[in-house]
Amino acid sequence: MKINKKTIINVIIAVGVYAVVQGLISGGMLSRQMTSLIIPICVYVMMAVSLCLVVGFLGELSLGHAGFMSVGAYSGALFLTHTELPQLPAVLIALLIGGSAAAVFGLIIGVPVLRLKGDYLAIVTLGFGEIIKSIINFMTPITGGAKGLSKIPLYTTYRNFTFVFILTVVVVLLVSNIVRSRHGRAITSIRDNYIAAEAAGIPVSRYKIMTFVIAAFFAGVAGVVYAGNIGILKPVNFDYNTSIEILVMVVLGGMGNIKGSIVAAVILTALPEVLRGAADYRMLLYSIVLIALMLFNNSPIKRAFMDRRNMRQAGRLQKEGE
Amino acid sequence: MDLVNSILEQLINGLRTGSIYALIALGYTMVYGIAKMINFAHGDIIMVGAYALYVFVGLLGLHPVIAVLLTIVVCSVLGITIEKVAYKPLRNATPLAVLITAIGVSYLLQNLSLLIFKATPIPFGSIIRVPSVKVGSLNISGITIVTLVVTTVSMIALTLFINKSKAGRAMRAVSEDKGAAELMGVNVNQTISLTFAIGSALAAVAGILFISQYETLLPTMGALPGIKAFVAAVLGGIGSIPGAMLGGIILGIIESLSKAYISTQLADAIVFGILVIVLLVKPSGLLGKLKIEKV
Amino acid sequence: MALLEVKNLGISFGGLRAVDNLNMTIEEGSLVGLIGPNGAGKTTAFNLLTGVYQPTDGTISLNGEKIVGKKPAEICQSGIARTFQNIRLFSKMSVKDNVKVALHNQITYRLAESMLHLPGYFKREKEMDERAGDILRVFDLEQFSETLASNLPYGKQRKLEIARALATNPKLLLLDEPAAGMNPNETAELMETIELIRKQFQVTILLIEHDMKLVAGICEYLYVLNFGTELANGTPEEVLNDPRVITAYLGE
């Protein structure tokens, strides 16, 4: 097996982050507010990284990612509230159930995914998220409806940080491994030019569905962790706003950049809590950041900058060629 | 007889909501036809219209007619500004970038009004004072009558404008082929601005009718009708003006019937379910044309 | 048996008959040109052969196997690869990854292997890197392996597109105006490259081209399309001196 510098650095970062956070928790050096942030950060990292697969690599806009999360959260939580198993096996099975249930919904959304793209697909994913929300509301006897599903065992709180942290690392690792493989290349080629991808023998339909199923699975897993942290689920926790927040993380992270998505997820989850009173301005800030980033990415300034860089690179290659 | 009456009543309710959807859907469809983008912020213009009316009537005490006119002006100017600032620089960008920007604008409007007017709903009585009419055993409210009259007049005016006027012809030309229209001497920027202005003006009217019916102001009040109107536009065939009207009315009736006879909670799911089915079965909508991508 | 057999191929878009009653027989190992004035239906014919469009009537068989009704990706796997008139590269991927995408069906491993980076992953990826390197070397693109495809100069982008098509290991290679936008030097270089890949990859080539010097220089047989129908076919000398062909290009 090849172990290169990058891998070593990544391992050091992961272990370092874990050591520091775990140290702070066991040393009791974190305020209650800070500890309450630890698990949400992990949840949003998983959400952002999985959405990154769809938006950044497949190049399709999904506005219903919170819908997949809610399917995972509810199905995992329902299992946890009814099982007699000890904590660890119960959580593992709940994660599997949550992920699989969400993946099934990913498969269902796969049908429109095959026939639509761009604006239309974005709207359908949005509608899909809303449909899931309505159905959860409607199934009151099972889900508790608008009042919420409560008394979920708190199995994935900051006290189980080690477990949640490992899980998050595994999710990130699995997603980035896919990206750097023949499967990931197939997905990315669809983003860049789906007609050429088909002509090069990529079964475009299968990979589109696969991407949505994988992303939905991990969103479901994140949902289970979320449920086990706050103990009560309400449909409003998974509305369109949540989907947008995750999208902002992916866009801010530089679409198609997994590390960027992670950093953006950490910052955007922590920031509003750290800067108290700024909560009112949070969504306003998000919207301004979204618009500004898109305008900047397509501005003449950025283009001139990129052109200069490309010219330099081309010049260098020319020299090497000679 | 009771059942017939109740169905008739729901149909009229549906027609009322549906014609508001149709007004909003027209904005989506016109902008899509010309700028080839989904203006996600369109629904929030409704909200701005409703709040503007509240400020002019409720806070400044202006005469309702003047307030309505001012509201329409405010929304039109807002529509033009949004296009100039946020969308125009992205005309050659990827659809993904444009869509994300539009979502950003939608959020910006919602959160600005959240900061200014706070999250608590503001009650705001209707400015429409028309007595209700009794037809047989059926009671048709004044708001319903006004809504139906206003939307019918707006739609006829819009159709005449687009088909008969010079500016309308320019709009049709730009929507067919921007480049060719420019070469023929059509001022594309002006035409796009005009489209956003008209779309936003219609949204303002929709906002006024909407608030007259629901009588409560909320920063997020535009989002859901906006999305549903978009569904209506897709249902009718995006880019098609008669399609938007037809789609809006069909959607309003379906929603009203499912709320009354199936389930209130499931009504939204049904509306979005229709969207998914239409897009899968006939992506071009009822009256739309399908485009084939050139390879 | 011929490699490619096209019989009575036709497609209508609404009332427009873009290709009508097209018949072609392409022998294995040959280099055939498809020419005709603009709008004659040449690219549409390519789109029919590669499954982008479904023909309204007629049959296409590759090595005796009917391929009408198959999806583009399946047709690629049966052995037809193509380039595009307006270059379609995976622009935000590296040059090497562009070729590796095309190796997708040649060197495979399972999803679990890629998720967990199992030993199979490393072994197969190494094979892919080697194969991609081999192909890029033929096109003199090896030193650009890590460059983003969109940053390549135009002529090299055209070459990369051919390299990518060849990576799918085709029996038949369709080139859609490979010399478009090239200067005479680049065109001459391209002609050499085409001859070279014919020998090295033992591939049959059908190309659309407007550059008559290139067509007369390397093609062994020509089909001429005009208004969607076949106007003439034969050796380059026969066809290019055919008065009907000259009229079609230059008018009466």
Say what the pLDDT of residue A1 is.
Answer: 45
Cα nearest neighbour of A293 on chain B: B101
User: Which of A92-96, B290-294, C14-18 shows the lowest per-residue confidence on average (mean pLDDT)?
Assistant: B290-294
Task: Assess C13–B contact: CB distance below 8 Å, yes or no.
Answer: yes
Task: Assess A239–B contact: CB distance below 8 Å, yes or no.
Answer: no
Residue A183 is which amino acid?
Answer: H
Q: Do B295 and C47 touch (CB under 8 A)?
A: yes
Q: Which chains, if any, share at least 3 CB pairs under 8 A with chain A?
A: B, C
Is the model's pLDDT at B24 over the cut of 60? Answer: yes
Cα nearest neighbour of B291 on chain C: C13
Say what the pLDDT of residue A314 is.
Answer: 62
Across chain B, mean pLDDT equals 89
Domain end residue (candidates: C133, C148, C163): C163
d(C-alpha A193, C-alpha A175), whole Å: 22
Q: Do A177 and C116 touch (CB under 8 A)?
A: yes
Q: Do C52 and B292 touch (CB under 8 A)?
A: no
Q: Give, to the nearest 10 degrees, the angle between helix C119-138 and helix C184-201.
A: 130
How close is the nearest chain B Cα to the Cα of A54, in Å? 12
Q: Are C19 and C48 in contact (CB under 8 A)?
A: yes
Q: Do B96 and A118 touch (CB under 8 A)?
A: yes
How close is the nearest chain B Cα to the Cα of C214, in Å? 24
Task: Assess C122–B contact: CB distance below 8 Å, yes or no.
Answer: no
d(C-alpha C160, C-alpha C139), whole Å: 8
The Cα-based distances of B59 to A199, B65, B72, B125 in angstroms read 63, 15, 17, 13
Is the model's pLDDT at C1 over the cut of 80? Answer: no
Task: Assess A109–B contact: CB distance below 8 Å, yes or no.
Answer: no
C29 backbone φψ class: left, alpha, beta (φ>0; ψ -120 to 50): left
N-terminal to C-terminal alpha carbon distance within chain B: 59
Question: Which residues of C are less than 8 Å from A182 in CB distance?
Answer: 100, 103-104, 107-109, 114, 124-125, 128
Q: Do C43 and B292 touch (CB under 8 A)?
A: no
**Are C61 and C99 part of one and the same domain?**
no
Q: Are B209 and B150 in contact (CB under 8 A)?
A: yes
In chain A, where the domains are located: 1-30, 38-259
d(C-alpha B246, C-alpha B286), whole Å: 9
CB nearest to A200's CB, from C122, C128, C168: C168
d(C-alpha A302, C-alpha B269), whole Å: 42
Walk along chain A (322 residues) and give the pLDDT tens digit of each residue: 456 788 888 889 999 999 999 999 888 888 888 888 999 999 999 999 999 999 999 999 898 999 999 999 999 999 999 999 999 999 999 999 999 999 999 999 888 878 777 778 888 898 889 899 989 998 989 998 888 999 999 999 998 999 999 999 999 999 999 999 999 999 999 999 999 999 999 999 999 999 999 999 999 999 999 999 999 999 999 988 899 889 989 988 888 899 999 999 998 888 777 766 666 777 788 788 889 988 988 888 777 777 777 767 666 655 654 4
The Cα-based distances of B28 to B113, B150, B196, B234, C79 in angstroms read 22, 19, 9, 9, 45
Q: Look up residue A6 and give its two tokens.
A: 């990058």
| Partner C, chain A 160-219, Cβ-Cβ below 8 Å | 174, 177-178, 181-186, 188-189, 191-193, 195-204, 210
* Beta strand spans in chain C (E): 4-13, 16-26, 31-35, 57-62, 65-66, 80-82, 172-176, 204-208, 221-226, 229-234
User: Which of A52-56, A66-70, B259-263, C101-105 shows the lowest per-residue confidence on average (mean pLDDT)?
Assistant: B259-263
Q: Look up residue C149 and give its two tokens.
A: 């495809």
d(C-alpha C178, C-alpha C87), whole Å: 9
> What pLDDT, in 10s, does the model give residues C53-100?
999 999 999 999 999 999 999 999 999 999 999 999 999 999 999 999
**Are C150 and C226 part of one and the same domain?**
no
| Residue C84 domain-assigned (yes or no) | no
User: For residue C31, which of C236, C206, C202 has the smallest C-alpha distance?
Assistant: C206
Query: Buried (b) or exposed (e) across A38-58, using 16+ Cβ within 10 A?
Result: bbbbbbbbbbbbbbbbbbbbb
Is residue C3 classed as helix, strand or coil in its secondary structure? coil
Q: Do A189 and C90 touch (CB under 8 A)?
A: yes
Say what the pLDDT of residue A317 is.
Answer: 59
**Are C69 and C7 part of one and the same domain?**
yes
- Cα B259–B261–B266 angle (5° rounding)? 45
| pLDDT grade for B96, boundaries at 50, 70 and 90 | confident
How close is the nearest chain A Cα to the Cα of B103, in Å? 8
Say what the pLDDT of residue A279 is.
Answer: 66
Say what the pLDDT of residue A322 is.
Answer: 46
Q: Is A147 exposed, middle or buried (0-12, 13-18, 19+ CB in 10 A)?
A: exposed
Q: Which domain holds residue C228?
A: 1-79+170-252
| Partner C, chain B 234-293, Cβ-Cβ below 8 Å | 292
Question: Which residues of A are less than 8 Å from B41 in CB distance?
Answer: none
Task: Assess B295–C contact: CB distance below 8 Å, yes or no.
Answer: yes
Cα nearest neighbour of C88 on chain B: B295
Q: What's the length of chain B?
A: 295
CB nearest to B276's CB, from A127, A137, A287: A127
Say what the pLDDT of residue C125 is.
Answer: 95
d(C-alpha C237, C-alpha A190), whole Å: 43
Q: Do A202 and C73 touch (CB under 8 A)?
A: yes
Q: Do C84 and B295 touch (CB under 8 A)?
A: yes
| Residue C75 domain-assigned (yes or no) | yes
Q: Which chains, if any, share at least 3 CB pairs under 8 A with chain C?
A: A, B
The Cα-based distances of B57 to B15, B75, B126, B186, C125 in angstroms read 27, 16, 10, 39, 70
**Are C123 and C72 part of one and the same domain?**
no
**Are C244 and C180 part of one and the same domain?**
yes
| Partner A, chain C 117-136, Cβ-Cβ below 8 Å | 117, 119, 121-122, 124-125, 128
Say what the pLDDT of residue B141 is.
Answer: 87
Residue that has been written with the tokens 């379910």 in this structure: B273
> What pLDDT, in 10s, does the model give residues B208-258?
999 998 889 999 899 889 988 988 998 898 888 889 999 999 999 999 999
Say what the pLDDT of residue B239 is.
Answer: 80
> What pLDDT, in 10s, does the model give residues B137-194?
788 888 889 999 999 999 899 989 999 999 999 998 998 888 898 888 899 999 999 9
How close is the nearest chain A Cα to the Cα of C63, in Å? 19
Say what the pLDDT of residue A165 is.
Answer: 97
Q: Are C70 and C78 in contact (CB under 8 A)?
A: yes
How close is the nearest chain C Cα to the Cα of B194, in Å? 34
**Are C126 and C240 part of one and the same domain?**
no
Q: Do C84 and A199 touch (CB under 8 A)?
A: yes
Query: Buried (b) or exposed (e) across B249-278, using 16+ Cβ within 10 A?
Result: bbbbbbbbbbbbeeeebbbbbbbbbbbbeb
Cα nearest neighbour of B272 on chain A: A127
Task: Assess C29–A contact: CB distance below 8 Å, yes or no.
Answer: no
Q: How many CB pairs under 8 A join A and B?
A: 127
DSSP state of A85: S
Indicate which of A119, A138, A247 best probes the interface with B, i.e. most B CBs within 10 Å of its own CB: A119
Tell me, what's the ipTM?
0.91
**CATH number of the domain within which C47 lies:** 3.40.50.300
Say what the pLDDT of residue A117 is.
Answer: 74
Task: Assess C72–B contact: CB distance below 8 Å, yes or no.
Answer: no
Cα nearest neighbour of C77 on chain A: A201
| Residue C119 domain-assigned (yes or no) | yes
Task: Assess A254–B contact: CB distance below 8 Å, yes or no.
Answer: no
Task: Assess A321–C contact: CB distance below 8 Å, yes or no.
Answer: yes
CB nearest to C76's CB, from A200, A256, A321: A200
| pLDDT grade for C150, boundaries at 50, 70 and 90 | very high
| Residue C233 domain-assigned (yes or no) | yes
| Residue C59 domain-assigned (yes or no) | yes
Task: Assess B183–C contact: CB distance below 8 Å, yes or no.
Answer: no
Q: Which chains, if any, share at least 3 CB pairs under 8 A with chain B?
A: A, C
| Residue C70 domain-assigned (yes or no) | yes
User: Which of A15-29, B270-284, C58-72, C121-135 shows the lowest per-residue confidence on average (mean pLDDT)?
Assistant: B270-284
In chain B, where the domains are located: 2-223
What average pLDDT score do residues C218-236 get? 92
Contacts of A58 (CB under 8 A, 6+ apart): A187, A188, A190, A191, A207, A208, A211
